[in-house]
Structure 1
């Protein structure tokens, strides 16, 4: 909270970096936020240890998947509906030889 509203109001892009699931395995990317909103519809992207999503035309779109993570695992840990981009690819991890 605090000055977050000031920060996101003028920002062109807001990227949320977070853990994908709760400690007990529950989803953190929800259909509807159950906390007070600082600024509705301001998030442009979500980055987690499992995946990278972008909001495109108001829809959540999966654009990258972490190495070794399967799509069914992401679906199981994501409550919100999302579309898989046709260009979805594996994340590039610095220092990792593929």
Structure 2
């Protein structure tokens, strides 16, 4: 796992594609996105356009709170992979650990 990576929270699709492309071009190999950011497809397009072999990248995405639970998580992971255009991610995180964190 690379020690330094690029996160794409709160970026539009165009900003995401440009940022990921630029990061990959200068040697960054860890890209962090999330279903909740709504830009996984843009990350996937930038990765595909880079021509960098998938094995050389470390891609992280995250499970949205609304998709927690076994079936929801499995379906959400599959949907993230489809949006990213990837066969796998290197790290799949729970974006927020509890729906009602104040009372959990």
Q: TM-score range by the shorter chain?
A: 0.3 to 0.5
Q: TM-score, normalised by structure 2?
A: 0.38
Larger relative helix fraction: 2
Larger relative strand fraction: 1
Q: TM-score, normalised by structure 1?
A: 0.40
